[in-house]
Amino acid sequence: MSERIREKLSILADAAKYDVSCSSSGSKRKNDNKGLGNGHSSGICHTYTEDGRCVSLLKILLTNHCIFDCAYCVSRKSNDIERAAFTVDEVVQLTMNFYRRNYIEGLFLSSGIFKNADFTMERLLKVVKKLRLEERYNGYIHLKTIPGASEELVREAGMYVDRMSINLEMPTETGLKLLAPDKSHKDVIKPLGDVQRQIIQFKEEKKVIKSVPQFVPAGQSTQMVIGATPETDKDIMHTAAEFYKNFSLRRVYYSGYIPISTDNRLPLLGTQPPLIRENRLYQTDWLMRFYGFHVNELLNDANPHLDVDIDPKLSWALRNLQFFPLDINIASYQMILRIPGIGVSSARKIVQARKFGRLRIDQLKKIGVAYNRAKYFITCTDSPPMFRDYQATQIKSFILAESQSKYLKNDIQQLNLF
């Protein structure tokens, strides 16, 4: 018995790991009934794999049997791999026992599609209901919405889970049609919209009647595969921005494609996953969500790709030197946020601290500003005047010479003379 379950866990965890969504934040579910678990509003990462990604949820598929044949997916019908399926009880027991030992923050449950969408969704719903109602489990649950499942099932699941998500897979419709002819962005947009409307409706009702139950309290997210099809960074981020706006998504995840197939529509086996690109896309995502940048400022027809050697905030600043240098002691918070080398928490501290007197370089450094980067874009009480009037290319080369990129140093094939 224990051997079989170990085998199943290996197969079904292995198949689920390409879904990069990991967050366990945003839910404040309380442990009111003296059961097990609660939500932690900022989430907890309980461990990290050797590739540096966090492990916060038990991320598994209910089964990797699937009726679809999407070229980018390990579990596609035509792929010759071992198949397995958990029973409802096995998933419940695994979740409860891992949770009790503080291994995990909750359950992330997805599934290959067997028979049809509704049948699969019903099975997922059974797991969730058993956890919540029979085991009195109040920990985090992230459930994948199965595309094409009926609205009633999705709605019922929403009453028990903390987050729901459904993957866009490819950033554009044409990309998706190329690799997964059976699928369409429409299958994603409809459930995202349904759940979104219900979230709003429940919130409205909650304002009037306090006892209205929670509905998907941690919101929705989605994921795009990067580098499997030839989209530009502009296509990707404009799609992301649109989905953030239309569906109030909490997160869009970008997953660098890891070659798993010999299909000639896809990158060759053994190709390095596009890790730098993925990193730059996440940086752009953060700039849009927390730094007040509009996607058009970062990526437009003139600049359809992000720079690989410098981050998107610095490259925006270098293209827009007319705004700089900014005086730290009078600039608005919104503008301070746009200075390379200053993050959200340093910007807040600067705005608070300058009420008590003009700020100097040493204070900025202590507050946490990356001064060597920021110095080309700011003036403060005692900044020397010599950093004025450099060209963008000069500033870029100064900064690159001083900083050590975590990626580039592996790429430069510099010969040593001695």
Q: Which is nearer to another protein, 46 or 130 (CB)?
A: 46
How many residues can be counted in the chain? 418
- The radius of gyration of the chain's CA atoms, rounded to the nearest angstrom, is 24
Q: Which is nearer to another protein, 24 or 222 (CB)?
A: 24
Chain-centre distance for alpha carbon 196: 18
What 3 state SS string does the chain have?
CHHHHHHHHHHHHHHHCCCCCCCCCCCCCCCCCCCECCCCCCCCCCEECCCCCEECEEEEECECCCCCCCCCCCCCCCCCCCCCECCHHHHHHHHHHHHHCCCCCEEEEECCCCCCHHHHHHHHHHHHHHHHHHCCECCEEEEECCCCCCHHHHHHHHCCCCEEECCCECCCHHHHHHHCCCCCHHHHHHHHHHHHHHHHHHHHHHHHCCCCCCCCCCCEEEEEEECCCCCCHHHHHHHHHHHHHHHCCCEEEEEECCCCCCCCCCCCCCCCCCHHHHHHHHHHHHHHHHCCCCHHHHCCCCCCCCCCCCCHHHHHHHHCHHHCCEECCCCCHHHHHCCCCCCHHHHHHHHHHHHHCCCCHHHHHHHCCCHHHHCCCEECCCCCHHHCCCCHHHHHHHHHHHCCCCCHHHHCCCCCCC
Least distance (Å) between residue 55 CB and another protein: 6
Q: Which is nearer to another protein, 48 or 119 (CB)?
A: 48
Least distance (Å) between residue 82 CB and another protein: 12
Q: Which is nearer to another protein, 58 or 92 (CB)?
A: 58
Q: Which is nearer to another protein, 197 or 366 (CB)?
A: 366
Q: Which residue ranges make up the site for another protein (CB under 8 A)?
A: 2, 5-6, 9-10, 13-14, 16-18, 30-31, 34-38, 40, 44-55, 58-59, 94, 97-98, 100-103, 136, 256, 258-259, 272-273, 275, 349-350, 352-357, 359, 363, 366-367, 406
Q: Which is nearer to another protein, 129 or 360 (CB)?
A: 360
Q: Which is nearer to another protein, 56 or 239 (CB)?
A: 56
Least distance (Å) between residue 219 CB and another protein: 22
Do the beta carbons of residue 255 and residue 227 sit within 8 Å? Answer: no
Q: Which is nearer to another protein, 97 or 116 (CB)?
A: 97
Q: Which is nearer to another protein, 25 or 315 (CB)?
A: 25
Q: Which is nearer to another protein, 361 or 395 (CB)?
A: 361
CA distances from 117 to 114, 176, 181, 270 (A): 7, 19, 17, 33
Q: Which is nearer to another protein, 30 or 319 (CB)?
A: 30
Least distance (Å) between residue 19 CB and another protein: 11
Least distance (Å) between residue 412 CB and another protein: 18
Least distance (Å) between residue 99 CB and another protein: 9
Which candidate, 109, 165, 166, 115, places its Cα nearest to that of 132? 109
Least distance (Å) between residue 39 CB and another protein: 10
Least distance (Å) between residue 328 CB and another protein: 12
Least distance (Å) between residue 163 CB and another protein: 18
CA distances from 53 to 17, 60, 105, 283, 335 (A): 10, 16, 15, 16, 32
Least distance (Å) between residue 183 CB and another protein: 24
Least distance (Å) between residue 346 CB and another protein: 9
